Amino acid sequence: MLAWHLWLIAALVLLLAELLGTGFFAFAMGLAALVAMTAALFDVGATGQWFAFALATGVLAPLLKKVFREFAPSRRQSGLAGESRHQTGKLVRHHNGELRLRLEGDLFMVRAQTGTVLKEGDEVEIIRFDGITAIVKQLE
């Protein structure tokens, strides 16, 4: 197997890994692997290929992040994890029988702030997020 084959495989794996939501870092590395593949096609040595990969990653990662933030800003209305903002949502029953918080069309796992019993249909205020679980209290 030739070096450019390995760079092409690495590029494809990294570009697919971007689907996991790495914030364009894997995408930048995938494009950088294509740059290294091009270097391999021109018979550049292994050190030169790795240098091309590192340089391209160093340039592309911040550039893609900046371009994405400028041309595709977030359109969500609510604040989520780490943001302080009063938000309310409604509790719904998930298909597996558990309660979930519906917030802007998304479902989040939910837990009451105190020993309060939550039930389907309750309007709740979101206190904070603990990971992906919304900590809520019932509206009064």
Q: Is the dihedral of CA 139, 85, 97, 94 positive or negative?
A: positive
pLDDT reading at 65 higher than 90: no
> Which of 16-25, 66-75, 80-89, 94-103 shows the lowest per-residue confidence on average (mean pLDDT)?
80-89
Return the pLDDT at 113.
82
- The packing angle between helices 46-71 and 25-41, to 10°, is 140
- In tens, the pLDDT along 9-64 reads 999 999 998 888 776 788 999 999 999 999 999 999 999 999 999 999 999 999 98
CATH number for the segment(s) 87-138? 2.40.50.140
Where along the chain do its domains lie? 3-71, 87-138
**What mean pLDDT comes out for the span 130-139?**
83
Whole-number pLDDT of residue 85: 61
The pLDDT > 70 percentage for the chain reads 88
Exposure on the CB side of residue 56, measured as CA atoms within 13 A: 21
Distance between terminal CA atoms of the chain? 67
